[in-house]
Structures are given as structure tokens and as C-alpha cells.
Amino acid sequence: MLIAGNWKMFKGPGETAAFCADLLQLLDDDAKGVDVVVAPPFVSLQAAVAELEGSPIRVYAQNVHWEEEGAFTGEISRSMLIAAGAAGAIVGHSERRQHFGETDETAARRASAALEAGLGVIACVGETLAEREAGETEAVLRRQVEAIAVAVPEPPGELDVAYEPVWAIGTGRTATPETAQEAHAFIRGLYPVERILYGGSVKPENAEELLAQADVDGALVGGASLDALSFTEICRTAARLSRS
């Protein structure tokens, strides 16, 4: 199981160092056996890496470009992330797709380049409310997943896919465990990726029922990952379920 915290545009270097120190204190033996990732903003990567050094908690960026360098204002390269100590990156998040013109193709290019450089990747897919209501969920997931599969035909263990229904992100409206399971099983049938994470309003109160689903192998947590206590609570639930 993998529990990843996507901090989005929250926490500068100072807050990041304080959060990571708390996390190390809180993530005791109860949370052993679960992979933990935090994904702070770019400027806070080094603070997180420094604070978490020597611990199994890995630090991911929230994006990565496929070129080594060049005229790509606002982007960041794989080697820059590696130099900052990051172990991987999230790609294709729906907020990138909705607000910043990310496409299936660019998300796939990012994923493939990052994996080539030895970084881990969490590649995000998921339908909008309008797409779900129009009965297009499977078609959308197929299109998004196939773009990744074309770029990375044999998914390595370092690639995780996150199913994040857009209507469940930051809305407090979680997919039911059955809806999540159905989408995860569909994705698994398309692409033999080892772990499929669920994301969208995951909280300590609903983590157990979601993580207990057969094809849910972890969670990508936004809002609830900003608080060390609630994030730890979700990690503990995952650890308990992986032991049972």
C-alpha cells in the first residue's frame, strides 16, 4: 500500500520542515509496512528531503518536465528534482489538466521521461462530473490510461496510477467504495500497473472502507494530508489493512 500526500500549493519551506518533523514523531511502528510519500511544492522539496533523511518516507514533486533543460518557463526538469533529493513526481493531476492545459499526451510524456530518469511516478486519471453523468467514465479512463500505456508499455513497479474522480477532489464528496472499486478494476483490466491509488476527499473517516477494496492499493490524499495527525491516521489504517 502507498499513501501519498499531495500538498498542492500549500506549505513553504519552514512549514514543510515543521510538518515533516511532526510526521516522523507520529509515524511510529503502527505505520510500518506502508509506503509513505509527501509531495510538497517545488521550493519546499529540499526542506522535506533534509528533514526526512534516513527515514523511509519519500519526497515527490507535483510535476516534472520531459526535457532536460530549455525555454520552458515555470517547468522543472528531472535532473533538477533528483538534485533536490526528490524520489519521484505526480503527473497529470486533474488540476493541471483543468487549469494549465495538461493533456493525455503531455502527462504521458512526463511519466515516461521521469521513469527513464529513475524517478517514481504517480500518474493521475479520472473523469469529471459531466463525463460521469453522460456515461462516459469508462471511455475517459480508457483514453487517459491508454495514453500512458503507449508511452510506458510495460509499467515498472515505480509507476503508480491514481484514480481521482474530479467531482470528488476537494469537494468532500467521496466516491463510494463500490464506485472506486469498479473504476480501479476497470483500469487494472486495461493496464497491468502494480498499484492503483484512489484520490478524492480521502479522510481518516473514510480511508478504511476505500482501502479495503480489492483493487484499491493506496490513496492520494490532498486536504487531509496537510494535517500531520490526519495524514498519519490514514497511514495507520493502510498499515493495519495490509497486515490483516
Q: Which residues are catalytic?
A: 93, 164
CA distances in angstroms from 191 to 35, 160, 184, listed in the order given: 22, 11, 10
CB of 154 to ligand PGA, least distance (A): 26
| From candidates 164, 215, 217, 233, binder to ligand PGA by CB under 6 A | 164
Reduced to 3 states, what is the DSSP secondary structure of residue 198?
strand
Cell of 109: 510524456
If binding means CB under 6 A, how many residues of this protein chain bind ligand PGA?
A: 13
Determine if 119 is a binding residue for ligand PGA (CB under 6 A): no
Rounded distance, CA 89 to CA 76, Å?
Answer: 11
- Give the helix/strand (H/E) hosting 141: helix 137-151
Determine if 223 is a binding residue for ligand PGA (CB under 6 A): yes
Cell 516534472, located at residue: 64
Determine if 118 is a binding residue for ligand PGA (CB under 6 A): no
Applying CB under 6 A, the span of 11-19, 59-67, 102-110, 198-206 interacting with ligand PGA comes to 198-206
Applying CB under 6 A, the span of 63-71, 76-84, 188-196, 215-223 interacting with ligand PGA comes to 215-223
Contacts of 107 (CB under 8 A, 6+ apart): 91, 92, 96, 97, 123, 124, 144, 147, 148
7, 214 in Cβ contact below 8 A?
no
Rounded distance, CA 22 to CA 46, Å?
Answer: 17
Which letter does DSSP use for residue 34 in this model?
Answer: S
CB of 170 to ligand PGA, least distance (A): 4
By C-beta, is 41 or 82 nearer to ligand PGA? 41
Determine if 170 is a binding residue for ligand PGA (CB under 6 A): yes
CB of 221 to ligand PGA, least distance (A): 5
Cell of 18: 515543521
Applying CB under 6 A, the span of 30-38, 133-141, 148-156, 199-207 interacting with ligand PGA comes to 199-207
**Binding positions for ligand PGA, rule: CB under 6 A:** 6, 164, 169-170, 199-202, 220-224
